[in-house]
Amino acid sequence: MILFPKHHQTTQTMKFIHTAKQFLGINRSPVSHSEKIISALGGFVALFVILTITQTFLDLPDSWAIIASMGATAVLLFAVPHGPLSQPWSVLGGHFFSALIGVSCALWISDPLIAASSAVGLSIAAMYYLNCMHPPGGATALSAVIGGESIHALGYGFVFTPVMLDAIAILGVALTFNALFYWRRYPAFLQQRQQQVPLPQAEHEIFSHEDFLQALKQVDSFVDVNEHDLRRIFDLANLNATKATLQTGDIRLGGFYSNGQLGKDWSVRQIIDESTSEDPTKDFVIFKQVAGQENKRSDCMTRSEFAGWAKYQVTEENGHWQRIPSE
């Protein structure tokens, strides 16, 4: 019988857990506790309003089916208010066209199984082509088919009452509730316009609108992030990646180093000479600025001062500066 060391068994267990998490799609949530609580509170308020409207103005015994799809909409509007799936056109268009298709399938397809399946499938296609992808729309289409006799009796009136009435109501709650928190302005357009001083963007790493669209084409799947947020995530990731400074031993003759700043403050310097000494105050390096502002400037400073300025080493490839991963 072969006995494995305890630490080996622990390592294998951790690898298995890590693989299982990746397979299941379990990721860490970097969202703060306060943001999670606000999202939950927003969902509560939205559903309370929807239920009140349904009970007060509508006498539909089978209306709970459509309320379920609005519950899914609430998750998007209050947990992911800036995502493309949550924007007003996605909510209104997604529910409207899905309800329209669902009612049509219920009226014209006699087999309930085929009708229900067709309603969801056609709704997905319609939302894709009309640029109003909204997952709860699939539930709306389904409820039009399997919602019960009271919903069937409404015919195409179901599209407007209760579907569009509820959709407009929940949008009103989202606009009002999210406006109470400056970082949650809804829709995303208001949040983007409010950021009058956006993060500066690295001139050597920026991507254009056309680059963004081309990347989406290559992914060839719906991505629930808008271009503005992707740029902001990109810039924040760059800022976080460049917080650490190099050590004096990392500064070598001939090496190229960047200060890791963004936009106009970004620059690259090359060490062109040095005067090594055991005394840090006499350990000098001479550098030439080769990219960024003041391209032709040369200067001298101690190696420790230069290490405090530099954030990482870079190399030039095909006219672009690339970061060299730390060893």
Domain end, chosen from 170, 192, 214, is at 192
Enter the pTM of the model: 0.63
Residues 117 and 261 in one domain: no
Start-to-end CA distance of the chain, whole Å, equals: 40
Answer yes or no: is 319 within a domain.
Answer: yes
Residues 298 and 170 in one domain: no
Residues 187 and 254 in one domain: no
Residues 188 and 254 in one domain: no
Domain end, chosen from 192, 207, 240, is at 192
Residues 168 and 301 in one domain: no
pLDDT at residue 2 tops 60: no
pLDDT value of residue 246 = 79
What are the tens digits of pLDDT across the range 43-89?
999 999 988 887 776 666 666 777 889 999 999 999 989 888 999 99
Helix (H, G, I), strand (E, B) or coil at 302: strand
Residues 105 and 176 in one domain: yes
Q: Which amino acid is at 325?
A: P
pLDDT value of residue 198 = 42
Residues 170 and 77 in one domain: yes
Answer yes or no: is 9 within a domain.
Answer: no
CA angle 206, 212, 218 (to 5 degrees): 130
* 212 vs 38: which has the higher pLDDT: 38
Q: How many domains does the chain have?
A: 2
* Token pair listed for 38: 């606000």
User: Which whole number is the average pLDDT over 144-172?
Assistant: 91
In sequence order, the 6+-apart residues with CB closer than 8 A to the CB of 255 are: 270, 271, 313
What are the tens digits of pLDDT across the range 107-118?
999 999 999 999
Answer yes or no: is 80 within a domain.
Answer: yes
Residues 159 and 285 in one domain: no
E-state strands within 235-281: 256-258, 267-275
What would the DSSP string read from start to end of 77-145?
Answer: HHHSTTSGGGSHHHHHHHHHHHHHHHHHHHHH--SHHHHHHHHHHHHHHHHHHTT---THHHHHHHHHH
Residues spanned by the domain of 164: 34-192
Residues 41 and 110 in one domain: yes
